[in-house]
């Protein structure tokens, strides 16, 4: 089940919220059980047996947490328990996601949806218990809810246990927070259904073409369309997750902060998939030594982290190369190029960053490295620009949505909201405008959903 489906919007979500709000606020345990049952149904809907895998992961890691607590004074046993937990979690991820890759495709295993997300979440729990950042959770239902909570289960953000530990035991919500959540969900749904799906269809049509036969302009159009698709798809899901969390009293971290306004690759990764970047920073980069062991070691650590970042996204060489591609430019900026970027006009830094991002997304989107290389070569084969061939891929509606996607990649709405407050429109007026906008976005999204059967979910592989 996905958020942008009629089943979720018209049946699952209304029923879940109706029962949730009907339970008095003081009965947190009852609310937790209701959400846990709903989350397990949500995850089991497409493939029921996958829920057994997640329950196994929850049970085993619950045991790891209790063992770390029990042997709090024994460093040796605690370290052994931590190692076993990491091996178990990464081993499970390896089996389902990477075994086929390392056996050359001779073994084919169906990938459980969202396994990368909930595996990293449960690992953050056991590692933080080991580091004594949090206490082990003694209530298995609370730990199960943390892992399976449906708003962020299949597409993030990667929520750490330490961030919602208190909310699992006590959380509050009121009409203002619910309204804020519904608004945020509506924005995310519109991002996904109105913008991402539209430009995604354009990207799919172009990437299906033989790159050696298409024009340069067509190649650029497809790459830009996919650049917009993946941003509005993923940030849209994150917005919906954060909005759903608000409706239920949870506060999830922000996952995107307008990454396409970045003026360096460093800044891009401070704004893109923030929860994953911070996870690798805290649980891999810093333990490797971070930037504390000299420049060369820092560069090596960055490349290791981004190789893992790329491979986390998928078991294919193009994902690994995509990660190393970004890691290379991060190292270049660390060496001294960032100082150059700080001195030149900001629009040049923005062009440079977007060029890296767009070329990177071609590596990410192409089925193989060979096709990615052919596609990139076509983009820079300016002898055959072929603008008319690119225009032939567009219709009026797609062109409008493409332009809308470019505009909405910039912080227009937050800027407008601040200007309204600055000119003393008042919170009531801003709220009324927000409410009207929310209803409009919901109706437009529902119209787009019912009028098309194209509704891909990019992050199902992760």
Write out the catalytic residue numbers: 313
Residue 371's SS3 state is helix
Largest CA distance in the chain: 71
**Long-range Cβ contact pairs of 167-170 (< 8 A, separation 24 or more):** 167/249, 167/250, 167/251, 168/32, 168/137, 168/142, 169/28, 169/142, 170/28
Total length of the chain? 462
Interior/surface letters 256-282, b for 16+ CB within 10 angstroms, e for the rest = bebbbbbbbbbbbbebbbbbbbbbbeb
- DSSP per-residue codes, 121-188: HHHHHHHHHHTTSSPPP--HHHHHHHHH-GGGTTT-----HHHHHHHHH-----HHHHHHHHHHHHHH
Give the Cα separation of 293 and 311 in Å (integer): 25
Give the Cα separation of 144 and 280 in Å (integer): 23
Contacts for 229 with CB less than 8 Å, ≥ 6 apart: 196, 199, 200, 203, 458
Question: How many CB atoms are closer than 10 A to CB 6?
Answer: 11
Helices then strands, counting H and E runs in the chain, come out as 24, 0
Q: What dihedral do alpha carbons 199, 205, 211, 215 form, nearest 10°?
A: -70
Alpha helix positions (H), 290-345: 295-313, 317-332, 338-343
Residue 457's SS3 state is coil
Query: Using the 8-state DSSP alphabet, how is residue 112 labeled?
Result: P
Give the Cα separation of 443 and 450 in Å (integer): 11
Give the Cα separation of 12 and 7 in Å (integer): 6
Contacts for 225 with CB less than 8 Å, ≥ 6 apart: 199, 200, 202, 203, 206, 402
């Amino acid at each position: 089940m996905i958020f942008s489906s009629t089943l979720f919007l018209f049946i699952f979500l209304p029923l879940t919220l109706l029962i949730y709000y009907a339970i008095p606020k003081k009965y947190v345990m009852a609310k937790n059980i209701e959400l846990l049952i709903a989350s397990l149904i949500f995850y089991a809907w497409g493939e029921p047996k996958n829920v057994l895998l997640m329950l196994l992961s929850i049970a085993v890691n619950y045991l790891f947490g209790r063992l770390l607590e029990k042997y709090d004074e024994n460093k040796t046993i605690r370290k052994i328990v931590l190692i076993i937990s990491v091996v178990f979690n990464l081993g499970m991820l390896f089996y389902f996601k990477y075994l086929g890759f390392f056996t050359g495709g001779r073994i084919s295993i169906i990938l459980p949806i969202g396994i990368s997300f909930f595996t990293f979440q449960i690992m953050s729990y056991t590692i933080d218990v080991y580091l004594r950042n949090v206490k082990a959770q003694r209530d298995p239902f609370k730990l199960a809810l943390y892992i399976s909570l449906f708003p962020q289960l299949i597409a993030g953000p990667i929520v750490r246990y330490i961030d919602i530990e208190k909310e699992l035991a006590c959380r509050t919500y009121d009409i203002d927070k619910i309204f804020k959540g519904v608004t945020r969900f509506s924005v995310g749904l519109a991002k996904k259904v109105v913008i991402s799906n539209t430009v995604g269809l354009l990207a799919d049509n172009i990437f299906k073409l033989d790159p050696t036969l298409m024009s340069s302009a067509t190649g650029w159009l497809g790459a830009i369309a996919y650049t917009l698709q993946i941003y509005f798809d993923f940030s849209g899901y994150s917005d919906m997750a954060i909005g759903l969390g608000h409706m239920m009293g949870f506060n999830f971290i922000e996952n995107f902060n307008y990454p396409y306004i970045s003026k360096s690759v460093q800044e891009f990764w401070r704004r893109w998939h923030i929860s994953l970047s911070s996870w690798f920073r805290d649980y891999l980069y810093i333990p490797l030594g971070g930037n504390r062991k000299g420049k060369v070691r820092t560069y090596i650590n960055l490349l290791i982290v981004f190789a893992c970042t790329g491979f986390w996204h998928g078991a294919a060489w193009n994902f690994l190369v995509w990660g190393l591609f970004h890691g290379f430019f991060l190292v270049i900026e660390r060496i001294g190029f960032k100082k150059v970027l700080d001195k030149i006009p900001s629009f040049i830094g923005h062009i440079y960053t977007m060029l890296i991002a767009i070329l990177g997304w071609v590596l990410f989107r192409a089925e193989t490295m060979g096709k990615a290389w052919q596609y990139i070569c076509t983009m820079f084969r300016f002898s055959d620009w072929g603008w008319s061939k690119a225009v032939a891929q567009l219709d009026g509606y797609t062109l409008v949505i493409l332009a809308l996607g470019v505009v909405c990649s910039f912080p227009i709405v937050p800027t407008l909201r601040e200007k309204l407050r600055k000119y003393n429109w008042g919170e009531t007026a801003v709220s009324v405008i927000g409410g009207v906008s929310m209803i409009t976005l919901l109706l437009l999204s529902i119209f787009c959903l019912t009028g098309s059967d194209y509704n891909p979910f990019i992050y199902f592989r992760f």
